[in-house]
Amino acid sequence: MIAINFELCNGCGQCVSVCPHSALALEGNSPRPRLVAPERCMECGACGLNCPEFAITGNFGVACFACMTQEKLGGKSASGGCCGC
Amino acid sequence: MSYIFMKFLERKPEGYDAGLRRISGQDWGAIRARIIAEIKPGEKVLELGCGPGTLAIELDQKGAQVTALDRSRELLIFARGQAMEAGAAIGFRHLDLERLNELEGQWDWVIASLTFSELRPMVRKAVLIRARKLLRERGRILVVDEVVPENFLRKIRYHLVRSFLGLVTYFRTRKSTAPLEGFNQDLAGAGYQVLREEELSSGGLKLWIAQILPEAPLPEPGELKAGWGSGDWLDSFFLWLTSHLLKIPFLPGLYRIGNPGAESPLLTTANYRLTVNLVRKYLKGFNVWLLVNDTRGVNVWCSAGERNFSASEIAITLAASQADRLIQRRELILPKLCLNGVRLGEVKARSGFVARIGPVYAKDLPAYLSAGGELGAGMDRIRFNFQNRLWFGVPFAVFMSLITGVLALALPWLIRKDLPLWFGMTSLLIAATYTWLPTRRHLVKGLVLGAGMALAVALYQFSHQAVGWDLARNSILLIALGLFVTADFSGVTPVSNRTLVEKEFKAIYLTLIGLLLVYFVFPKIVEVFK
């Protein structure tokens, strides 16, 4: 899941426009993003990476069973592109 | 001996020079002396990839003002120590050459020994282009690096030795180097005039001295055919089937599609061959530029996840291909699925091109371009409908059955001959049914799929009068298979996420181990009861 730090957020909406699942939406008068469809979020990290205020954090990375197995066995990081996924 | 071995030497800085001396057949000191002879006291020298700093110190002792870069912090610590002992005043800086554009200053010389062979061809070009800004007018570049010897016998010996050492080196260090090929063209393309070329170390090394020309020649991008012929269909079909097995790269760089001009749109993509095929398939009738990034032969989404498709990489490709000299419109259209690796704002900061978010799928490019860069409804979202699932599922099934097929061939006494078939079939089944259950949990999905298969097989076997223990035992194996394949398929889908898989990881493995234990212990239990 992702966490949005509203003290840092400036409401620019970049996170909403980069999300490939339209899982975020801007809400309110002074607009702030909200994860409106958490069930669609795949923690790809696009919102976190593209937030100009670094206000979004999360458990970003690949959701690959084989990668995680390798990681647990060999201590290799999953972002290293261990398998073909 | 091959210089690829220096990747070993870098792990122990104090042995680096002695090691290089051995590799070069005692020539290394003489080669450094050859480099130093070119530099006059008082000249400003920028050394790219200084390693343990020996050359930088010797240059300093000759009276040059040296700035030395390296990407390894360990080597820099050692180099600083060496310089301190020698009383040399060298400006060391930690910088990866992929980010050479972050450096500012003016130098008389840029020197790189055994550095370019460590860089990817695209980065070599970018470094040469970016070094232009770091050199004063009529400044020079001096490069010493590994080349393939021209002499036929030496060439054969070279390749034999190198492939062996390369393998050993890769296993130990996970790093590799490649001898320079076509470096004269690279120099000419980046606007350098070669003043001198010398063979060193009996043909295994080469030295270039080149001077910067006022203007680099205009780049000549390659052309890509828009639309597919029958050959493209065949090629793409093969690429698709093997997409989980093979990374097949396309030559990165800037390409023309149609007849683009200075104001035409600039698209960008990854250099997996199938990705490039798909992009150009839909661009018939359009005049656009296509920037193909060196994502190591991996598609947009995965390479972005692996950080190989990044703002830095885009800036490298743009610099190397000198796109800014052909394209006035400083705008770049990104495939939306690269945004987990590409920071939009960083593209502008690194390359001067403003990044725009393009559609997720290449097939939406015509509508997007025709609308003047407006994302139409649905163009900004990943879909995972039946058709999409088969698009991922079929290659996944091919991958699964090939892996188990190889295992079955290698260990025929342990693995049943029909296992690849079962794996392939299960893969197709989970791809087809993945979203049908109203749960995201792979444990549930997998068990349901496995149970379904077990039921079907049991009914079939039952109708063929095969009742009893065997039937139950097979069912257990099928459930385990369903679970394992489902868990593996999660990495292929664009709807799973890390938290979910982490949560389930242990439960899935425990269930699998439990099922397999029962499967193997089952016959023993049966015997007891009999």
Q: Which of A50, A54, A57, A71 to mutate to test the interface with B (most CBs of B within 10 A)?
A: A50
| Structural contact between residues B378 and B334, judged by C-beta atoms closer than 8 angstroms | no
Confidence band, pLDDT 50/70/90 cuts, at residue A79: very low
Give the Cα separation of B124 and B145 in Å (integer). Answer: 12
| Helical (H) or strand (E) element with B528 | helix B498-529
- Examine the pLDDT at B159 and tell me if it is beyond 60: yes
Closest CB to B340: pick one of A41, A46, A81: A46
**pLDDT score for B6:** 66
Estimate the crossing angle of helix B28-38 against helix B16-23, to 10 degrees: 100
3 state SS of B224: strand
CB contact under 8 A, B305 and A79: yes
CB contact under 8 A, A61 and B340: no
- Examine the pLDDT at A84 and tell me if it is beyond 60: no
How many Å is the Cα radius of gyration of chain B? 29
Give the residue carrying structure tokens 């097929």.
B405
Mean pLDDT of chain B: 91
- Examine the pLDDT at B216 and tell me if it is beyond 80: yes
Confidence band, pLDDT 50/70/90 cuts, at residue B116: very high
Pairing of strands B91-94, B65-70: parallel
CB contact under 8 A, A14 and B344: yes
**pLDDT score for A65:** 82
Question: B329-343, pLDDT tens digit by residue?
Answer: 999 999 999 999 999
Question: B278-320, pLDDT tens digit by residue?
Answer: 999 999 999 999 999 999 999 999 999 989 999 999 999 999 9
Share of chain B above pLDDT 90, in %: 72
Nearest CA in chain A to B484: A65
**pLDDT score for B200:** 84
Question: B120-158, pLDDT tens digit by residue?
Answer: 999 999 999 999 999 999 999 999 998 888 778 878 877
Confidence band, pLDDT 50/70/90 cuts, at residue B413: confident
pTM reported for the whole predicted model? 0.90
Instruction: Collect all residues with Cβ–Cβ distance below 8 Å to A54 and sequence separation of at least 6.
Output: A8, A48
- Examine the pLDDT at B266 and tell me if it is beyond 70: yes
Highest mean pLDDT among B14-28, B288-302, B410-424, B458-472: B288-302
| CA-based end-to-end distance of chain B | 69
User: In chain A, what residues touch B243 (CB-CB under 8 Å)?
Assistant: 84
**pLDDT score for B107:** 97
Highest mean pLDDT among B12-26, B348-362, B460-474: B348-362
**What is the ipTM for the molecules in this complex?**
0.90
- Examine the pLDDT at A85 and tell me if it is beyond 70: no
Give the Cα separation of B37 and B74 in Å (integer). Answer: 29
Question: B417-457, pLDDT tens digit by residue?
Answer: 888 999 999 999 999 999 998 888 999 999 999 999 999 99
Closest CB to A79: pick one of B244, B307, B487: B307
Q: What is the distance in angstroms between the Cα of A28 and the nearest Cα belonging to chain B? A: 23
Question: B61-106, pLDDT tens digit by residue?
Answer: 999 999 999 999 999 999 999 999 999 999 999 999 999 999 999 9
User: In chain B, what residues touch A52 (CB-CB under 8 Å)?
Assistant: 345
3 state SS of B306: coil
